[in-house]
């Protein structure tokens, strides 16, 4: 009997291959530390979206452990996996070329185009690498914790660079483990 492929696993493998290639390129060209490989490991997770309920998505493994300490990786049931779309958004992957591309691709795959477009616009507004990466981690954190996404879709677009930076610093300080993870990532991302 042929084994049923879980589409979630295929999606995870597809993104992980992409991130491994990107990370090798970044490290080989001196644009980041080899420690990035650990931060670029992905896993499956549940997100809660108000309009859709609980859905399966891909997220950084380290962030999954911050949100769900001591919890083993999520393994979806075959039925859930069979209904999961594996359509990635290649334009976002190529445009953002890191974890941001995976997050934006996932938002499009999940039908959250409005949020993806707002986040994409926000990430392109400023030439601040640290703020860019911090916003990616915070958005993923909010999705995984089922926090309101209204700040991302309505409020942040009106903030100046200084206001956005202050907001991001205050947000990451809400959870010590999150702050440590983001700060270490920024250190290794050169």
Between 126 and 167, whose confidence is greater? 167
CA atoms within 13 A on the CB side of 135: 31
Residue range 44-59: average pLDDT?
86
CA atoms within 13 A on the CB side of 39: 26
Q: How far apart are CA 141 and CA 57, in angstroms?
A: 13
In this prediction the pTM is 0.89
Rg (Cα) of the chain, in Å, rounded? 16
**Is it the case that residue 45 has pLDDT exceeding 60?**
yes
How far, in Å, are 87, 130, 178 from residue 185 at the CA level?
Answer: 28, 9, 11
Between 79 and 17, whose confidence is greater? 17
Q: How far apart are CA 151 and CA 111, in angstroms?
A: 18
**Is it the case that residue 3 has pLDDT exceeding 70?**
no
Q: How confident is the model at residue 48 (pLDDT cuts 50, 70, 90)?
A: confident
Position of tokens 């185009």? 113
* Residue 71 DSSP one-character state: P
Nearest one of 65, 161, 55, 68 to 112, comparing CA atoms: 55
> What are the domain boundaries of the chain?
7-188
* Residue 156 DSSP one-character state: G
């Amino acid at each position: 009997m042929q084994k049923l492929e879980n589409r979630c696993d295929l999606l995870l493998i597809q993104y992980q291959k992409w991130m491994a290639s990107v990370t090798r390129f970044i490290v080989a060209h001196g644009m980041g530390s080899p420690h990035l490989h650990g931060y670029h490991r992905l896993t499956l997770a549940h997100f809660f979206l108000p309009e859709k309920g609980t859905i399966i998505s891909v997220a950084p493994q380290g962030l999954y452990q911050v949100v769900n300490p001591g919890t083993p990786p999520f393994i979806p049931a075959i039925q859930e996996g069979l209904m999961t779309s594996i359509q990635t958004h290649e334009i976002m992957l190529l445009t953002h070329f890191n974890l941001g591309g995976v997050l934006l691709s996932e938002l499009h795959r999940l039908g959250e185009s409005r949020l993806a477009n707002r986040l994409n616009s926000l990430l392109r507004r400023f030439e601040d690498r640290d703020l860019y990466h911090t916003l990616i981690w915070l958005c993923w954190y909010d999705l995984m914790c089922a926090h309101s996404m209204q700040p991302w879709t309505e409020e942040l677009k009106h903030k100046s660079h200084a206001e956005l930076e202050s907001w991001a610093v205050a947000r990451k300080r809400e959870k010590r483990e999150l702050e440590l993870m983001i700060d270490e990532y920024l250190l290794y991302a050169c």
